[in-house]
Structure 1
Amino acid sequence: MRIQDLPHPDPGVPDARSGPRFLWWLGRNQLSGQLTSLAWGLLHFVAVSAQPFCVGYAVQAVVDRSGARLALAGGLMALCGAATAVGDTFLHRAAVTNWITAAARVQQLLARKAARLGSALTRRVAAGEVVAVSTGDVEKIGWFVEAVSRFSAAALTVLLVCVGLVVYQPALGVVVAVGLPVVAFAALPLLPPATRRADVQREKAGRATELASDTVAGLRVLRGIGGEELFLDRYRRASQEVRQAAVRSARMWSLISAVQVLLPGLLLIAVVWYGVHLAREGRISVGELVTVYSSVMVLAYPLRHFEEIAMAYSFSRPSAKRAARVLSLERLTDAGGSRAADAPSGDLDDPATGLLAPAGLLTAVVCGDPDAAGRLAERLGGHASEEGPSVRLGGVPLDELPLDSARAAVLVQDKDPVLLSGSLRDLLDVPASGRVSAAAALRAAQCADVLDALAQGSLDADDPMDARITERGRSLSGGQRQRLALARSLLTDPEVLVLDEPTSAVDSHTEARIAEGVRDLRSGRTSVVFTSSPLLLDRADRVVLVHDGEVAAVGTHRDLLHEEPRYRAVVTREPDGEGEAGPGERHVGLRELEVLDVLEDLEEIEETA
C-alpha cells in the first residue's frame, strides 16, 4: 500500500489476544509491503556481499596477470555498486512505507475502538495510557515492522553468503558458516534482562509523566495551599529514578552492542589466521583468501540488523501488549442493535434505579455521590459501560437500538466536556434538529461575555463566530468552557438531553439566568439535569433524589427541602440526618428559600429595567 492511499479503507479485525499475536497479525496484513522490501533488500545486501567475490577475482587476475579478467572484475564491481545504490534507495523507501502504513493501521484501529467505546474507554483504561498507546507505542510498533523488512533480507543474505563460501572454498567456508550463527545469536541470552530493564525504565517514566501532568493541572490549587514545592520534590525524585533506570538499561544495551562488535572481530581473526595457514600450505589461492576475508568484513553490515530486530522487538513487545489490551476491550452491548434505527420518544425510565423522566418536562436529579451521578448519567444514554438492565425511552430499550440511533435520541453531556480547537463556528457545527439556532443556544447558555472574550483574543476575526478557540479551550475560564459546551448541547436539540453538573463552575447570578434559559429553550422537550444547585433545582418541574442507587424521594425542590432530610443534607451541604428535621435544619431550609426569593426579585427588577 502506498502512503498516499492512507487511511486504510478497512484496517481489519486485529488479533488482540496478546502482544506477540498482535504483531504477527500486523505483519500478515503488511505481507505485500514486506515482500516488496524483501526483494529490494535482497538486491541491496546481495550486491554488497558480492563485492568481496569481485575483489578476490580481481586480485587473482592481477596475480595471474590477466587483463581481461581484471576488466571483467571491474565491470562486475561497477554493476554491484549500482545495484547496491538502487537496492538501498528502494529498500529504505519500502521499509519506511511499511512503518508508516503499520502505524496508521494501528492508529485507525485505536480511533475506531475509541469511537465505539466512547466514555467507557477512559473508565476502563487510564486516559494517559490511551494517549501513550496512540503516540509513542504506535511508533515503536511501526519500528518493529520496519526492522522486520530489513532483517528478513539481511538474514537471507547471510544464509546465501554462507552457502556460497562453503561451495567456493570449503575449508574456510565451513569456518565462516559455523562462526556466523554464533556471532548472530550470541546476544540472545542478554535480551531478557535488557528487556526487563527497559520495561522498568518505561514504567518509571510513565509514573513521572503522570505526576508531572497532575502537578501542572493542579498548579493553581497547589499554589493556593502552598503545596507546589512538595509536588516538585516528588517529581524530582521520580525523574531521578527514571534517570537511574535509564542508565541501568543503557548499560545492558551497550553490553549487547559490544558483543556484536567483539565477536565478528574474533571471527575475522580466526578466518585470517586459518586462511594464511592454508595459503602457506598452498591449499588456497591469494584471491580466495581475500574473497573470504572480505566477505566476513562485509557481513558485519547485515549482521547489525540482527541487533536492530532484537532491540525493536524488545521495545515493541510491551507496546503491542498495551495496544492489544485496548483493542481487546468490547462494549457490553451490541453497537449494531437488534431493533430498527427509528428513534423512539416518550418517558425516559431506568429500571435499575427507578428513575423516571416524564416526556416534555425538566427533571432534576440529586445524588450525594458525584461518581454515582456520573455513572447514572452515562446509563441514561444507553449502551452503558456497566452491566445492568437497559434504560427505556418510550418503552423501547435503548441498548436494543443501534448505537448512533441511541445517541441521537438521548444526548449526554458529562461534567467535563471537551472543547476541540478551532473556530467557534466549527465548535457549533454539530448534528442538530434545526429547530434551535446557534444564537438562541448561545443566548440560553449566557455566552455573551464568552463571545466578547473570544473576539478580544482574535483581533483578525470580524465575526465572533470566526474567533479561535485554543486546545481544549485553555484560554477560557472553567465557567466559560462550561457555557460553550452547554450551548453546543442545546444546539443539537435531541429528544432527551442529559446534563451532568452543567453549571458547577459559574457564579450564582449567571447560574440563575442559565436555568431560566435552559428551561425556556427546552420547553416541551425532555431534559434531565444532575445537580445539587438550588437555583437549578428550583426551576425544575420535578426533582428526584437518588440515594444508595435507588430513587428515595420525588417532588419539587421546596417540598423536598422541607420534608426530606437526606435531600436537604446534599443541597445545603449540611450533615445527613435520617430522623425528622430539627429546628436548625428547618432554619437552613427556610434560609435557602429566602435566597431563592431574593434572586427572583432581582431578576424581575432587571427585566423591568
Structure 2
Amino acid sequence: MQIQDLPYPDPGVPDVRSGPRFLWWLGRNQLGGQLTSLAWGLLHFMAVSAQPFCVGFAIEAVIDRSGARLALAGGLMALFGAATALGDTFLHRTAVTNWITAAARVQQLLARKASQLGSALSRRVAAGEVVAVSTGDVEKIGWFVEGVSRFSAAALTVVFVCVGLVVYQPALGIVVALGVPVVAFAALPLLPRATRRADVQREKAGRATELASDTVAGLRVLRGIGGEELFLDRYRRASQEVRQAAVSSARMWSLISAIQVLLPGLLLIAVVFYGVHLAREGRISVGELVTVYSSVMVLMYPLRHFEEIAMAYSFSRPSAKRAARVLSLERATDAAGSRAADLPSGDLYDPATGLLAPAARLTAVVCGDPDAAGRLAERLGGHPSEDGPSVLLGGVPLDELPLEGARTAVLVQDKDPVLLSGSLRDLLDVPASGEVGPTEALAAAQCADVLDALVQGSLDAGSPMDAHITERGRSLSGGQRQRLALARSLFTDPEVLVLDEPTSAVDSHTEARIAEGLREIRTGRTTILFTSSPLLLDRADRVVLVHDGVAVAVGVHRELLHTEPRYRAVVTRETEEETARGGVLKELHALGDAERLGDNERQEIEESA
C-alpha cells in the first residue's frame, strides 16, 4: 500500500482483544511494507557497519605498503558509502509510508466505527477520549508500527557484526559479543516502570483533553452562569497534573537514555584497554584493533534503535489500548443486516418498554428521566442494549436490516444535535426523500430569524443558502441551533423521525408555531416526539407516558393531564406532595364525599397526604 493509494478500500476487521494484539494485527496487515523497510534497513545498517572493516583493511595496506590493497579499500569504502546513502533514503521513505498508512488505517477504522454507532458513540465513550484516539494516539500507533522494521534491521545488523567480529578477531570479538547484549537489554528492567508512568501521563492528558472539550462546548452556558473561572481552575489543575506526570515519565526515560550512553562507553573502554594489551603482546595487529574499535563505535548507531522501539512501544501500548476499546464497541444489532434491502413500513414498536408509535401519526412520549428518554430514543434508532430485544418496524426487527437501510427508515435527532462548519447549503446536503424542499423545512422549523442572523454574519453570502455556519454553530443561540437541526431532519424526510426535546431552548411562541409546522409537514409520516412541553403534547395525535422503563399510560394530552397523576407531575412539574394530595382529593370526589367534608377535615386530609 502506497500513500497515493489511500484510503484503503477495506481497512479490515481489527483484533481488539487488547492493545498489543491490535498492534500485532496492524503489523501483519502491513507485512509487505514491513519487509520492504526491513530490506532497505539491512542495506543501510550493514553498509554502515562494513566501513570499519574497510578502514582496518586500509590501515593494514598502508603498513604493508600495498597500493593495490589501499585502492581496493578506497573503492570498497566508496561502494559502502553509496549503499549507506541509498539504503538510508529508501529506509526513510518506506518507514514514513508505513507510519502514514498505519495511522490512516486506524483513522478509517475509527471513522467506520463512528458511522456504525452514530449517536451511541458519544454516550458510551467520552468525547475527550475519542479526540485523543483520533489525533495523538493514531500518531503514536503509527510510530511503533513503522519502528518495528527499523528495529528488526538494527537487531539483525548487531548480530551479524558480533558474529563477524568473533570470526575476524576472536579475542576481542568475544568481548564485544558478550558486552553488546548487556548494553542492549540493561534498560529492560526499567521499562515496566517507564510504561506505567507513560500510562499515567496519557490518562491524565486524556482527562485534560476531555475537560477542555467540554469547557469549549459549554462556553456560552458557562458565561451565562459565571462559571468560566471555576472550569478554568479545573483545567489549570488538570494541566498541572499532566505536567507533573510528564516530568515523572521524562525522568525515567532520561535514566534509560543515560544507561544507553554509559554502558556503551564502558564497553568501548573495555575493548580499547584489552585491545591495547593484546596489541602489545603482538596477538593482534594495529589494523585489527582499529577495526574492532570502529565497529564498536558504529554499533552504537543501531543500538539506539533498541531504546527507540522501547519508547515507541511504551507510548503506543496505552494508545493502542484506547483505540481497541473504542473499536471494540459494537452496535447491539447486526450492522451488516441479514434481511434484504427492502425497507419495511408500518408501526414502530419497542418490546422492551411496550411503546407503540402507529404509522403516519404524531406520537409524543413523556419520560420523567431525560437520560432514560435519550436511551429510549437510541433504542428506537436501532441501538438497543446488549441484552434487549430489537425494535420492530412493521413487524421487522431493525437489527435484521442493513445499517444503511435502518438509518434510512428511522432517523433520530439527539437533544444536542451537531452542526458542522460550512454553508447552510452544506448543512442540508444530506440524503433526503426529495419530497420536502429546503424552504419548506426551514419554514416549518421557524428559521426565518436564523437565516437573517446567518446572512448578517456572512457579508459575502449571495443568498441565505450560502451563509456560513461556524463550527458547531457557536455563533448562534441554543434555540437557533435547535431549529436549524430540526430543519435538517425535516428536510431528510425519513419514514420514521424520532425527535428528542427538539424545542427545549425555544421560547413558547416559537414553540407553538413549530408544533403546527411539524404536524403539517410530517403528515402521512411516523413521528415520535420526546418532550414534556404542553404546547407540543397538545398537538400530538397520541401521548405515551413511559415510567420506570415501561409504557404505563396512553391517551391524549388533556385526558392524561386529568387522569394520570404521574403524567401530570412530569408535565406540570408538580412535587410528590402535590401529586399525592391531588390523588387523595380525586378519590374523594369520585366517592362523592368531598362536598360533604368541612374545611378542617379537608385540610387534615391534604396535610396527611
TM-score range for the pair, normalised by the shorter chain length:
over 0.9
CA contact (8 A) 1:49 1:299 kept: yes
Say whether residues 1:198 and 2:198 are aligned partners.
yes
**1:29 paired residue number:** 29
CA contact (8 A) 2:120 2:383 kept: no
Distance 1:162 1:196, change over 3 A: same
| 1:420-439 paired onto structure 2 within 5 Å | 420-439=420-439
Deviations 1:539-581 (A, max 9, x none): 1112221111222222222222233222221112221469677
* Contiguous gaps of at least 5 residues in structure 1: 587-609
Could you tell me how far apart the structure 2 residues matched to 1:367 and 1:317 are?
A: 43
Say whether residues 1:149 and 2:149 are aligned partners.
yes
SS of the aligned residue for 2:292 comes to helix
Could you tell me how far apart the structure 1 residues matched to 2:229 and 2:339 are?
A: 57
Deviations 1:470-500 (A, max 9, x none): 2222222111111111111111111111111
Distance 1:130 1:227, change over 3 A: closer
Could you tell me how far apart the structure 1 residues matched to 2:284 and 2:201 are?
A: 52
| 1:385-424 paired onto structure 2 within 5 Å | 385-424=385-424
Quick one: which amino acid aligns to residue 310 of structure 2?
A
**1:158 paired residue number:** 158
Could you tell me how far apart the structure 2 residues matched to 1:230 and 1:110 are?
A: 33
Distance 1:57 1:467, change over 3 A: same
SS of the aligned residue for 1:539 comes to coil
**1:471 paired residue number:** 471
**2:90 paired residue number:** 90
**1:101 paired residue number:** 101
| 1:6-17 paired onto structure 2 within 5 Å | 6-17=6-17
CA contact (8 A) 2:391 2:398 kept: yes
TM-superposed CA distance for 1:277, in Å, is 0.8
Could you tell me how far apart the structure 1 residues matched to 2:10 and 2:219 are?
A: 43
Could you tell me how far apart the structure 2 residues matched to 1:231 and 1:448 are?
A: 35
* Contiguous gaps of at least 5 residues in structure 2: 587-609
Could you tell me how far apart the structure 2 residues matched to 1:209 and 1:304 are?
A: 32
TM-superposed CA distance for 1:384, in Å, is 2.2
| 1:576-591 paired onto structure 2 within 5 Å | 576=576, 582=582
CA contact (8 A) 1:566 1:576 kept: no
Could you tell me how far apart the structure 2 residues matched to 1:124 and 1:583 are?
A: 39
**2:114 paired residue number:** 114
Say whether residues 1:265 and 2:274 are aligned partners.
no
**1:364 paired residue number:** 364
- Residue range with higher mean Cα deviation, 272-281 or 563-572: 563-572
**1:59 paired residue number:** 59
Could you tell me how far apart the structure 2 residues matched to 1:583 and 1:327 are?
A: 50
Say whether residues 1:442 and 2:408 are aligned partners.
no
**2:256 paired residue number:** 256
- Residue range with higher mean Cα deviation, 280-289 or 204-213: 204-213
SS of the aligned residue for 1:303 comes to helix
TM-superposed CA distance for 1:137, in Å, is 1.1
- Residue range with higher mean Cα deviation, 427-436 or 124-133: 124-133
TM-superposed CA distance for 1:413, in Å, is 1.0
**1:592 paired residue number:** none
How many residues were matched structurally?
586
TM-superposed CA distance for 1:223, in Å, is 4.3
Deviations 1:170-204 (A, max 9, x none): 11111111111111111101111111111112222
TM-superposed CA distance for 1:118, in Å, is 2.2
| 1:270-349 paired onto structure 2 within 5 Å | 270-349=270-349
Deviations 1:204-238 (A, max 9, x none): 22223333333444444444444433333333333
Deviations 1:389-427 (A, max 9, x none): 222222222222222222211211111111122221121
TM-superposed CA distance for 1:165, in Å, is 0.9
Identity of aligned residues (%): 88
CA contact (8 A) 1:565 1:581 kept: no
Could you tell me how far apart the structure 2 residues matched to 1:397 and 1:577 are?
A: 42
**1:531 paired residue number:** 531
**1:244 paired residue number:** 244
TM-superposed CA distance for 1:360, in Å, is 1.7
**2:72 paired residue number:** 72
SS of the aligned residue for 1:249 comes to helix
CA contact (8 A) 1:37 1:94 kept: yes
Distance 1:204 1:579, change over 3 A: closer
Could you tell me how far apart the structure 2 residues matched to 1:347 and 1:237 are?
A: 52
Could you tell me how far apart the structure 2 residues matched to 1:446 and 1:477 are?
A: 14
SS of the aligned residue for 1:544 comes to strand
Could you tell me how far apart the structure 2 residues matched to 1:585 and 1:374 are?
A: 34
CA contact (8 A) 1:162 1:173 kept: yes
